[in-house]
Amino acid sequence: MIRLDYLPDYKDIKLYQDDEMFCINTDTYVLGNFLEVYKKDKVLDIGTNTGALLLYASLFKPEKMVGLDINEKALKLAKQNMELNGITNCELICADGNTFKYHEEFDVIIFNPPYFKTPSKDLGNNEYLALAKHENNFSLPHMIDCINRNLRNNGTVYFLFQTSRLLEVINEFNRKKLIIKKMQFVYDENKDFSQVVLLKAVKGAKMGMIVEKPIIISRNMFSKNN
């Protein structure tokens, strides 16, 4: 079922969501609020789904935005969401991130990737959710390769991943000289351990990183915004 929602914290930014597909959640919310984009920037959102993170990026008025996804049905909703909010500087592309290479490099890449390693037999029958949540068709090394192919030197990537796999991510980032400059752990108020971590990395930068105060997510807080 398709429903009309709004971007958390921004009631004037509307978006359509389909219950059959991946809908915005706390990961979307924290990553959207982690972004820093300049007006001259060209922005790529990998795995854009229905365009929620593009809507967050649009708040900075960047020069150009591109949303990439392999799911044509999600991109149709993303197109409607861009039109609904009067966004005209956005291109939506249906392609496989394993091989995608744009004709120019980007200043900023946003990526809220699938991060569960799940046996194929346990993926369930919903192909849309399987693509959005499980990395079976888009492994972590291939994700980082896609970022590297499309990000200019000194460009910035904003990335969210499972905290339990942080060392894997750091190793993959280092492999492509994507230097982590900022890290922020996210906690659910009802859990003892961080589930996800936010990363800002710059391609070809010098070493030096700050770890910001953690974000504590209240489920009630998010539900009021969604």
Helical axes 166-175 vs 140-150, angle rounded to 10°: 40
pLDDT by residue (tens digit) across 62-115? 999 999 999 999 999 999 999 999 999 999 999 999 999 999 999 999 999 986
Please tell me the predicted confidence (pLDDT) of residue 224: 46
Q: CA-to-CA distance for 48 and 61, rounded, in angstroms?
A: 18
Model confidence at 160, in pLDDT bands (50, 70, 90)? very high
Q: CA-to-CA distance for 98 and 137, rounded, in angstroms?
A: 8
List C-alpha distances in Å: 151 to 30, 123, 186. 22, 31, 26
| CATH ID of 2-225, from 3.40.50.720, 3.40.640.10, 2.30.42.10, 3.40.50.150 | 3.40.50.150
- Three-state SS for 43? strand
Q: Residue 102 is encoded by which pair of tokens?
A: 């744009």
What are phi and psi for residue 142, nearest 5 degrees? -70, -35
Please tell me the predicted confidence (pLDDT) of residue 21: 78
